[in-house]
Structure 1
Amino acid sequence: MKIKDYPRFTIIMRGYTFQQADAILKAMEGLEKNFAVEMTLNTPDALQQIRQLTEKYGDSIYIGAGTVRSIKDVKEAIHAGAQFLLGPHIFTQEMLDYAKQHQVLSVPAAMTPSEIDEMFTRGADIVKVFPASVVTPRFFKDVQAPLGKLPLMGVGGISIENAQSFLSNGASYLGLGSGMFNKKDLDDLASEKLAKSMRKLISSVEGVGV
């Protein structure tokens, strides 16, 4: 997978059943260029879900693994078919190198300018600023003033209501978890309503440059 193909939004699926995940991906029909999805590895049967979802939707939707914390996680996720890897903290050089060798995008997390710089120096494709709501949208603008334009992803506290603020302050990508969908819509497997939430997010940032 190449970074130029990576969508602006990543939907974080943590603790979802296969049926809920399937409903989300089904809802993406026609919106595939805007969204990638990650199944967090602390979700029950996460690797099996990644494998099944990739077999069913992998030709049209980018499917990755989240909460990647070790080289073991990296290897298992890639073996299951993950096309990108997100973590809650910095990645070791071994993790970054293994992902690159297998043409899988690496997205480690960082929270300071030094950590961000270290991850890009070591070869990260995108750096996830986490938790983004703690550092606020302005952090993205301020940290890139001295470091230059960087492919940063805001994750943690991102919602349809504040997405525009993060993107207008220099975030290139956003990851949305519990703030993306109405819980009842997920419980009901209501793909049409899930799709409506996705379209609402896209509309909320219309005109905001990358």
Structure 2
Amino acid sequence: MDLLTQLRTHRIVAIVRGDDADASLRTVLALAEEGIPLIEVSLSGKDAVDVIRRARAALGPDAPLGAGTVLTAEDAQAVHEAGADFVVTPAVCAGISEAKRLQLPVLAGVMTPTDIVAAQELGADVLKLFPAEHAGGPAYLRALRGPFPNVPFVPVGGVDTEVARTYLAQGALAVGAGSPLIGDAADGGSIDALRTRARAFADAVRTVEAVR
């Protein structure tokens, strides 16, 4: 999987984390149907590895499907076996190097310049700026692009449709959206409401022109 191209094309990663495994699966499938094909199932959700396995079977072999909150080598191995084809971490951790050993692309969580250098040294393909809203939001991304102009950043944390547009305009490769997009759908809430939010997010990221 070419993660950079997928992110550049779709511009948003949906982060699914729920207390209801069946609802989480329904959420994944609804997102894909509504034009948000880049989906990460977080290991902090209930029965997440099984959700990934079931989602892979339902989506087919070619749909991009990620695993999030991958911290350890064991996490990376489990999601690889379940059918994930990219890995997302919340930090610089052992999950990065093991995922790379398994030939899975990695969106690695960073917050500081030191994190950025460390994640790159471990082979991370893309860097997840997290938690972006607490780091300083779009202004912090703009500051980081000074010393790291060619690093592909994906801000995550507190990203709604308006903030998504701002990050993309400031040069983010893509954004990650959790609760502002998913709401309570992965806990058994309304899938119809999720579909409405998904369409709004897809529209929001479609036409933003980034600064260079």
Tell me the TM-score range normalised by the shorter chain: 0.7 to 0.9
> Distance between the aligned counterparts of 1:185 and 1:75, measured in 2?
24
Shifted more, 175-184 versus 101-110: the winner is 175-184
Matched, 1:133 2:133: yes
TM-score of the superposition, structure 1-length normalised? 0.87
Unaligned segments of structure 2, at least 5 residues: none
Matches within 5 A, 1:129-208: 129-135=129-135, 136-183=137-184, 187-190=188-191, 192-208=192-208
Matched, 1:55 2:65: no
Report the AA paired with residue 147 of structure 1. Answer: F
Partner of 1:29: 33
Matched, 1:104 2:104: yes
Question: 1:184: how far off?
Answer: 6.8
Matched, 1:9 2:15: no
Partner of 1:75: 77
Shifted more, 172-181 versus 3-12: the winner is 3-12
Report the AA paired with residue 87 of structure 1. Answer: T
1:73-97 Cα shifts (integer Å, max 9, x gaps): 11111111111111111123xx434
Q: CA RMSD for the aligned pairs?
A: 2.2
Identity of matched residues, %:
28
> Distance between the aligned counterparts of 1:13 and 1:182, measured in 2?
10
SS in 1 for 2:93: coil
Report the AA paired with residue 53 of structure 2. Answer: R
Task: Call closer, same or farther: CA 1:107–1:182 in 2, change over 3 Å.
Answer: closer
The one of 7, 19, 23 equivalent to 2:22 is 19
1:127-171 Cα shifts (integer Å, max 9, x gaps): 111100012112112111222222111111111231111111121
Shifted more, 124-133 versus 78-87: the winner is 78-87
1:171-203 Cα shifts (integer Å, max 9, x gaps): 11211111114437963442x432221111122
SS in 1 for 2:175: strand
Task: Call closer, same or farther: CA 1:106–1:16 in 2, change over 3 Å.
Answer: same
Unaligned segments of structure 1, at least 5 residues: none
SS in 2 for 1:79: helix
Matches within 5 A, 1:83-98: 83-92=85-94, 95-98=95-98
Question: 1:56: how far off?
Answer: 0.8
Contact residue 152 and residue 173 of structure 2 kept, 8 A: yes
Report the AA paired with residue 168 of structure 1. Answer: A
Report the AA paired with residue 110 of structure 1. Answer: V
Bigger helix fraction = 2
SS in 2 for 1:175: strand
SS in 2 for 1:128: strand
> Distance between the aligned counterparts of 1:2 and 1:178, measured in 2?
26
> Distance between the aligned counterparts of 1:185 and 1:15, measured in 2?
4
Question: 1:108: how far off?
Answer: 1.6
SS in 1 for 2:75: helix
TM-score of the superposition, structure 2-length normalised? 0.86
Report the AA paired with residue 152 of structure 2. Answer: P
Question: 1:58: how far off?
Answer: 3.6
> Distance between the aligned counterparts of 1:52 and 1:195, measured in 2?
20
